[in-house]
Structure 1
Amino acid sequence: MIQNIEPHEYRNEYTPEPPKKDSVLLYYEGRKVLVKIENQEISFLSFEEAGKYHPDIYEEYTYLFSIDGQGYYLAEGIDPENFPGYELMDNQYFREARPKYRQFAAVTGWQLYRWYQSRKYCGHCGQPLVHDDKERMMRCPDCGMMEFPKICPAVIIAVTHGDKILMSKYAGREYKKYALLAGFCEIGEPVEETVRREVMEEVGLKVKNIRYYKSQPWSFTDTLLLGFFCELDGAEGITLDTEELAMAEWFERDNMPVEAEDLSLTNEMMMAFKHGKV
């Protein structure tokens, strides 16, 4: 999955120490990330490169995380045209970019970038927020309001029926491949109940024997994904929610239209069922 970047080590402790010349700058414009692509591998700006055109970059920075002890920082106010060989790539490119640890860095940085962009003013009193010195948090110096990064829990659901699994396609989204059922947890709702509710809402089925499988951070949508397998409880006829899904269909284990990739929890769960591991 996208977060499995071993042997590289990701550390997300908030340690906003001053950047070094070889520290990494992640620059975003909306959905796009500034990268250099050489021999089909991506790299990012360093502070040394950016400092040639923006000397104050060492004074105005936002610390993000580190990988293998190298700091990654959020860049603002730079001009991409100053850096020949670099280009702005849409975030969907990072479903396949390599090397994998930089793919993960680009997507995780994009989640934090979007959070910082939407947390400039206090939602309580309207005053400008400031960075906290000790935690990854935006704080209002006037009323004391504290804002932490947004993480939304959601479930990925593999509904099985003997040697069959329910696969679907989303309605009205960029992603057109087969997926599993999914949905966000609601206030006051245990995740197991989210599984039951989402299956009933999207395909009109009851399920039983709900079993937790694995989790995954999914920075594309600010989400923490929780994977569950469950079994059909009753008739297998589908009542499709056409606002959420373009289709949903039962597939035999040996006839699943899916191939392995190393990005998503959804794919890992489908491949686990396909190869009889669950």
Structure 2
Amino acid sequence: MIQDIEPKKMKNQFVDTQVENSDSVFAFDGEQLVIHKNREGILTLPERRGMKGENGDFTYLFAIDNTRYFLYRKEIEALPMGFETVNVRGLRQITSKDVCFAAATAYHLYVWYRDNKICGRCGVILVHSDAQRMLKCPVCGNEVYPKVAPAVIVGVCDGDKILLTKYAGRAYKRYALIAGFTEIGETAEETVKREVMEEVGIKVKNIRYYKSQPWGTDSNLLLGFFADLDGSGEISLDREELSTGEWFPRDNIPVEDDGISLTRDMIEAYRSGKY
């Protein structure tokens, strides 16, 4: 999956440090990211030396091995030579998986910084803690940490068949699994039951946890579960959420593992007989 970058390792602790010329920089304009892609498809980011602005315009994000990543906090006025902008949601490749994972995580933090400039309690401008990744109000003491939204992905199984769906009204048109956000006062297992019933109108039982995945482009922590059909397998689609819902036998699943998403990893686990 996208976070599987071994033997490299992400060091996500915040450090109060100044940017250096050789540090890598994430510069966003909404969902657009400044990046370079060579003929072999390898992705690289601009370095501080190629970006305009003062050192105070750069905020430390994290490191992967010895590469330090900073967020450019100003509006992008001109692209560095040889670079272009691409939608960060489209960075889903194996060739530069560590850069893709870093980009998703950086976007998660970019959105947090962008959306949390003013204290929601008293309206004063927030300041950054020197000790941790936290914004604090200097007047009322309100502390604001990065938002992480839990969501579930569900592989619904009926013997030797699995339920695959397609989203309605989204750019992603390939088969996926049922997914949805956990609501207030709800366990992840309750979310599984509710989302399956709401989206395809069926009941499930024997809910079992598989694994998790950070998905920074939506500020999510995805929790993967498998569950068995409980009763009728007749599908009643929520047409606002899904365009298709179909049962596929294990030996005829029209989806390949992309090495990036939890959804594809779960489908492959089912295809191979692990679940």
1:123 alignment partner, SS class: coil
Pick from 264, 268, 271 the counterpart of residue 268 of structure 2.
271
Comparing 148-157 and 79-88, the one that deviates more: 79-88
What residue number does 1:204 align with?
Answer: 201
Q: Pick from 238, 248, 253: which aligns with 1:251?
A: 248
**Structure 2 equivalent of residue 31 of structure 1:** 31
Task: Note if 1:123 corresponds to 2:120.
Answer: yes
Match of 1:88 in 2: 85
- State the 1:80 CA deviation: 5.2
What do the CA deviations read for 1:7-41 (whole angstroms, capped 9, x no partner)? Answer: 11101011122222211111000010001122311
Q: TM-score, normalised by structure 2?
A: 0.96
CA contact (8 A) 1:112 1:149 kept: yes
Letter in 1 for 2:68: G
Q: Which amino acid aligns with 1:219?
A: G
Give TM-score, length-normalised by structure 1: 0.95
In percent, how many aligned pairs have the same letter?
A: 47
- Structure 1 residue 15 corresponds to structure 2 residue 12: no
- Does the Cα contact within 8 Å between 1:261 and 1:267 map onto a contact in 2? yes
| Mapping for residues 1-278 of structure 1, pairs under 5 Å | 1-39=1-39, 40-50=41-51, 53-54=52-53, 56=54, 58-77=55-74, 79=76, 81=78, 83-96=80-93, 98-278=95-275
Deviating beyond 6 angstroms after TM superposition, the runs of 4 or more aligned structure 1 residues are none
SS at match of 1:214: strand
2:10 partner amino acid: Y
Secondary structure of the 2:101 match is: helix
Secondary structure of residue in 1 paired with 2:251 = helix
1:180 deviation in Å?
A: 0.3
Query: After the TM superposition, which of the residue ranges 14-23 and 178-187 deviates more from structure 2?
Result: 14-23
**Cα distance in 1 between the residues matched to 2:93 and 2:172:** 13
How many positions carry a matched residue from both structures?
274
- Long gaps (5+) in structure 1: none
Cα 1:199–1:186 change in 2 (3 A) is same
For the 8 Å contact 1:214–1:228, the answer to whether it is kept is yes
